[in-house]
């Protein structure tokens, strides 16, 4: 059965800290790994990863995929209170483009 596991499930850090969020996956017919930030209702797209070892960056956020170890990380440097959110990791399959979501990591950044 396909599954996506994230760790930690929740995290509290101080502003300025660097955090690493983990995502491991077992997804048959794997196509891509997706990261989202969910602050209220709608998840907003962060990254799509398809190849191992190629880091994607957007400002203070970066992510990388290891297709051999079936693992991805999301790094956030110099965290700000606006980074407080749930971060979702998801695996997209090639078959019918189905997406399997992990449970999310709830990040709280305190001043």
Q: Which residues bind another protein (CB under 8 A)?
A: 31-32, 34, 36, 40-45, 48, 50, 88, 90, 92, 96-99, 101-104
b (16+ CB within 10 A) / e for 30-58: bbbbbbbbeeeeebeebbebeeeeeebee
Please, which residue, 29 or 50, has the CB nearer to another protein? 50
Query: What's the closest the beta carbon of residue 84 comes to another protein, in angstroms?
Result: 17
Closest CB to another protein among residues 18, 52:
52
- Work out how close the CB of 111 gets to another protein at its nearest, in angstroms, rounded to a whole number: 26
Question: Please, are residues 55 and 62 in contact by the beta-carbon 8 Å criterion?
Answer: yes
């Amino acid at each position: 059965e396909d599954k996506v596991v994230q760790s930690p499930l929740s995290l509290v850090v101080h502003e300025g800290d660097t955090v690493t969020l983990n995502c491991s996956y077992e997804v048959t017919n794997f196509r891509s790994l997706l990261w989202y930030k969910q602050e209220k209702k709608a998840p907003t797209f962060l990254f799509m990863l398809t190849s191992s070892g190629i880091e994607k960056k957007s400002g203070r956020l970066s992510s990388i995929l290891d297709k051999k170890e079936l693992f991805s990380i999301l790094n956030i440097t110099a965290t700000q209170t606006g980074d407080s959110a749930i971060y979702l990791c998801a695996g997209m399959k090639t078959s019918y483009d189905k997406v399997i979501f992990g449970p999310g990591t709830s990040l709280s950044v305190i001043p």
